[in-house]
Structure 1
Amino acid sequence: MQRPAPGAEPRWPGADRCPPSRPVVRVMIVDDSLTARTVFARMIEADPALLLVAQASTAEEALGRLSTCSPDVVLLDLEMPGMGGLEALPQFLALRPSLQVLVVSSLTEAGAWHSVRALAAGAADTMLKPVPGSFGGNYREQFTARIRALGRRDAASTGRDTCPQTQGWPPSRAPRPGKRPRVVAIGASTGGVHAINAVLGGLPAEFALPILITQHLPASFVPVFARQLELVSRRRTIVGEDGQRPAPGEIILAPGHAHLTVERRGEQIAVALCSAPSPSGCRPAVDPMLSSIAEAFDGEAAALILSGMGRDGVLGAGDLVRAGGTVIAQEPLSCAVWGMPKAVAQAGLAAAELRPADMGPWLSLRTGSAEWR
Structure 2
Amino acid sequence: MSVALAGSPAASSTQYEPLRVMIVDDSVVIRGLISRWVEAEPDMTVAASLRTGLDAVNQIDRIRPDVAVLDIEMPELDGISALPKLLAKKRDLIIIMASTLTRRNAEISFKALSLGAADYIPKPETTREPHAAEIFKHDLLQKIRHLGSKVRRRATGVAPVAAAAPAVLREPAAPLAPAAPTVASQAALVKRAFGATAPRVLLIGSSTGGPQALMTLVADIGPLIDRYPVLITQHMPPTFTTILAEHLMRASRHPAHEGVDGEAIKPGRIYLAPGGRHMRVAKQGGNPVIALDDGPPVNFCKPAVDPLFTSAIDVWQSGILAVVLTGMGSDGMRGGKEIVAAGGSVIAQDEASSVVWGMPGAAANAGICAAVLPLNQIGPKLVRLFSGDRS
Q: TM-score range by the shorter chain?
A: 0.7 to 0.9
14-23 or 330-339: which moved more?
Answer: 14-23
CA distance in structure 2 between the aligned counterparts of 1:92 and 1:246, rounded to whole angstroms: 44
Deviations 1:96-147 (A, max 9, x none): 5543321100222211221233335543332222424147544333322321
Please report how far the alpha carbon of residue 240 of structure 1 lies from its aligned counterpart in structure 2 after TM superposition: 0.8
How many matched pairs?
359
- Could you tell me which residue of structure 1 aligns to residue 205 of structure 2? 187
Task: Write out aligned runs for 1:274-313 (5 A).
Answer: 274-277=293-296, 279-313=298-332
Which residue identity is paired with 2:137?
Answer: R
**Residue pair 2:225, 2:269 contacting (<8 A) in 1 also:** no
Q: CA RMSD in A?
A: 3.1
Deviations 1:13-61 (A, max 9, x none): x345487365322212233445543332232223222112234444455
- Could you tell me which residue of structure 2 aligns to residue 146 of structure 1? 143
Which residue identity is paired with 2:194?
Answer: P
Q: Are residues 120 and 218 of structure 1, via their aligned partners in 2, closer, same or farther at CA, if it must alter by over 3 Å?
A: farther
- Could you tell me which residue of structure 1 aligns to residue 353 of structure 2? 334
**Residue pair 1:166, 1:354 contacting (<8 A) in 2 also:** no
- Could you tell me which residue of structure 1 aligns to residue 93 of structure 2? 99
Please report how far the alpha carbon of residue 161 of structure 1 lies from its aligned counterpart in structure 2 after TM superposition: 7.3
Question: TM-score of the superposition, structure 2-length normalised?
Answer: 0.80
CA distance in structure 1 between the aligned counterparts of 2:296 and 2:315, rounded to whole angstroms: 20
Structure 2 unaligned runs (5+)? 160-178
Q: Are residues 316 and 110 of structure 1, via their aligned partners in 2, closer, same or farther at CA, if it must alter by over 3 Å?
A: same
Q: Are residues 35 and 282 of structure 1, via their aligned partners in 2, closer, same or farther at CA, if it must alter by over 3 Å?
A: closer
Task: Write out aligned runs for 1:44-193 (5 A).
Answer: 44-63=38-57, 65-66=59-60, 68-81=62-75, 84-90=78-84, 92-93=86-87, 96=90, 98-130=92-124, 131-134=126-129, 137-153=134-150, 158=159, 162-164=182-184, 176-178=193-195, 179-193=197-211
CA distance in structure 1 between the aligned counterparts of 2:222 and 2:90, rounded to whole angstroms: 32
309-318 or 192-201: which moved more?
Answer: 192-201
Deviations 1:190-218 (A, max 9, x none): 12111111212222356422111111111
CA distance in structure 2 between the aligned counterparts of 1:99 and 1:184, rounded to whole angstroms: 35
Deviations 1:164-184 (A, max 9, x none): 2889xxxx9787222321111
Which residue identity is paired with 1:239?
Answer: E
**2:7 aligned with 1:10:** no
35-44 or 214-223: which moved more?
Answer: 35-44
Q: Are residues 201 and 71 of structure 1, via their aligned partners in 2, closer, same or farther at CA, if it must alter by over 3 Å?
A: farther
**2:376 aligned with 1:357:** yes
Which residue identity is paired with 1:111?
Answer: N
CA distance in structure 1 between the aligned counterparts of 2:152 and 2:271, rounded to whole angstroms: 31
Please report how far the alpha carbon of residue 291 of structure 1 lies from its aligned counterpart in structure 2 after TM superposition: 0.7
**Residue pair 2:70, 2:96 contacting (<8 A) in 1 also:** yes
Please report how far the alpha carbon of residue 362 of structure 1 lies from its aligned counterpart in structure 2 after TM superposition: 1.1
**Residue pair 2:119, 2:209 contacting (<8 A) in 1 also:** yes
**Residue pair 2:325, 2:349 contacting (<8 A) in 1 also:** yes
Which residue identity is paired with 1:183?
Answer: V
Structure 1 unaligned runs (5+)? 1-6
- Could you tell me which residue of structure 1 aligns to residue 285 of structure 2? 266
**Residue pair 2:192, 2:367 contacting (<8 A) in 1 also:** no
Deviations 1:54-88 (A, max 9, x none): 34444455345445544332211223445543344
Q: Are residues 255 and 93 of structure 1, via their aligned partners in 2, closer, same or farther at CA, if it must alter by over 3 Å?
A: same
SS at match of 1:185: strand
Identity fraction in percent: 36
